[in-house]
Copies of this chain bind each other. A is one copy, B any other.
Amino acid sequence: MFETAELGSKIDKKTFKREGPKARAELLEVQRVVAGSGLAPVVIISGGDEYGKVPVLDLLLSWLDARGVESYALSDPTDEERERPRFWRFWRLLPARGKMSILIGSWYSHPVVERAYERLDELEFEREMRRIRDFEVMLAHEGVPVVKLWLHLAKSVHKKRLAKVKRDPRSRWLISEESWTNFKRYDEFRRTAEEAIRLTSGGVAPWHIVESVDDRYRNLTVVTTLTRALQDAVHSDDAHRAKRSGRKAKISLPRARKANLIRQLDLTLALPDNEYEEKLEQYSARLAKLVRQLRDAERSLTLVFEGPDAAGKGGAIRRLTGAMDARLYRVISVAAPTDEEASHPYLWRFWRHLPRRGRVTVYDRSWYGRVLVERIEGLAEREEWKRAYAEINEFEAQLTEFGTIVIKFWLAISPEEQLRRFRDRQTTPYKQYKLTEDDWRNRKKWDGYETAASDMIERTSTDNAPWVLIEAEDKRWTRIQVLRTVCRHVRKALKG
């Protein structure tokens, strides 16, 4: 979930000078529209980056029209607040229509901290998240969209940041005993945050994860993300009113600045031929054994393959299945739904073919079609693919809770490499059947697919069902990486 926020994303001064004013103008404009619409947004600035929240708040307060904004830094409840049910303090700071509240610290803070320190157990934490979700759904219904920003720092960066802030006398006061204590629980906080984000991102109030390592990048990303989220809120509110009044609403939405995870991969990674043969044999033998152990342990394994056309999914899958007992695995190629499938809820076709215990199922394309091809080709409506992230997370949570091991592979290639492979298919007779008109058409939407894939990975990569990105420019490298990853995960799962 945090993969896209651990890339070291930066913006240079020049770019910030150029883009900052534009972003600021857009933010002001959307604030004006919000004020006119009668919405009353609440913006939550949250996350692991303790020292980024205040600067972000400062920036927003200075860029926004101050007459329409109130900000609150919530820490421990006051005596007054302690005398009432816990949510009383949050009700107090809801803005009036046309205004906006910005919060540092929110209804998430207490349960996240308590869970990270194991003072809440898993189920108690889930109850808190359920309560928050109901609260946010109610707010959305009542014209209070909640925009949630999570400022994230990778562990190593966080550590350096702490040290740096401590060295600097101007900022030393920012570091409390608590900062260090919390940092010692970095992993627990990260896990808890992932869980919180997964449980409260569905539907009306999704989380936006922002990498916080570089101030300029963070600030600009926060501003464009907030702008877009507010436009979204106005848009759906307009659509809602349009429904009542029968008129149509349309607002153009700019894209938020977002680091692209896939572009960060080192596609030059490759494996020489001799090494490949040796490792193929080594991992195949290991996998064969592990698959038998899976059967004996009655554990299922579900592997998902996604990636651009000609990324080498089929080849990688064949190397996997080549190592397995044919009675134990099944490869499912997912294409357009059948008539019968189309007449059921989206996930029905995947539930339908769920294997029994102890089996391996390999999906060549999968349920992620909804947030990839269906999103890009307009086969699913915006609201359909938007809610699909949460639905898919819930689907996979049910699989993993049942004991199924879920691993999802994204095979990444460059557009140039794809073109080379397309040409090869064109000229090699036995490969021609693989190349269709669709492939050329999809290729034209490369950037759209890449963005969709990046969003998908951010929102659906979880501890229990992770996305694994494979640099797939070299086929040998790809296949060995896939085999190795599967072996490692399965071995770990069988041990745990």
Residues on A close to B: CB < 8 A? 40, 80, 83-88, 91-92, 94, 96-98, 123-124, 126-127, 130-131, 134, 138-139, 141-144, 202, 239, 242-243, 246-248, 340, 343-348, 351-352, 354, 356-357, 383-384, 387, 390-391, 394, 398-399, 401-402, 404
Q: Do A243 and B239 touch (CB < 8 A)?
A: yes
Q: Do B398 and A87 touch (CB < 8 A)?
A: yes
Query: Nearest 9 A-B pairs (CB), nearest first?
Result: A142-B345, A83-B356, A123-B123, A91-B351, A243-B243, A85-B402, A97-B343, A96-B343, A85-B398
Q: Do A92 and B343 touch (CB < 8 A)?
A: no
Oligomer: number of copies: 2
A371 to chain B, nearest CB (A): 15
How many angstroms between the C-alpha atoms of A98 and B339 in the bound complex?
Answer: 13
Could you give 5 example pairs across A and B, Cβ below 8 Å?
A: A80-B356, A85-B354, A134-B390, A138-B345, A138-B347
A428 to chain B, nearest CB (A): 41
How many angstroms between the C-alpha atoms of A344 and B144 in the bound complex?
Answer: 8
Q: Do A401 and B85 touch (CB < 8 A)?
A: yes
- A340 to B, closest residue via Cβ: B96
A298 to chain B, nearest CB (A): 9
How many angstroms between the C-alpha atoms of A390 and B138 in the bound complex?
Answer: 10
- A81 to B, closest residue via Cβ: B356
Q: Do A84 and B354 touch (CB < 8 A)?
A: yes
- Contact partners of A247 in chain B: CB under 8 A: 246
How many angstroms between the C-alpha atoms of A40 and B346 in the bound complex?
Answer: 13
How many angstroms between the C-alpha atoms of A354 and B340 in the bound complex?
Answer: 54
Q: Do B344 and A96 touch (CB < 8 A)?
A: yes
A130 to chain B, nearest CB (A): 5
Q: Do A387 and B354 touch (CB < 8 A)?
A: no
- Contact partners of A138 in chain B: CB under 8 A: 345, 347, 387, 391, 394
A98 to chain B, nearest CB (A): 8
Q: Do A354 and B398 touch (CB < 8 A)?
A: no
A195 to chain B, nearest CB (A): 13
How many angstroms between the C-alpha atoms of A91 and B341 in the bound complex?
Answer: 12
Q: Do A344 and B88 touch (CB < 8 A)?
A: no
- Contact partners of A344 in chain B: CB under 8 A: 40, 94, 96-97, 142
Q: Do B123 and A88 touch (CB < 8 A)?
A: no
- Contact partners of A91 in chain B: CB under 8 A: 347-348, 351-352
How many angstroms between the C-alpha atoms of A139 and B343 in the bound complex?
Answer: 12
- A38 to B, closest residue via Cβ: B343
A136 to chain B, nearest CB (A): 11
- Contact partners of A348 in chain B: CB under 8 A: 91, 94
A394 to chain B, nearest CB (A): 6
Q: Do A387 and B124 touch (CB < 8 A)?
A: no
- A358 to B, closest residue via Cβ: B83
- Contact partners of A86 in chain B: CB under 8 A: 398, 402
- A84 to B, closest residue via Cβ: B354
A395 to chain B, nearest CB (A): 9
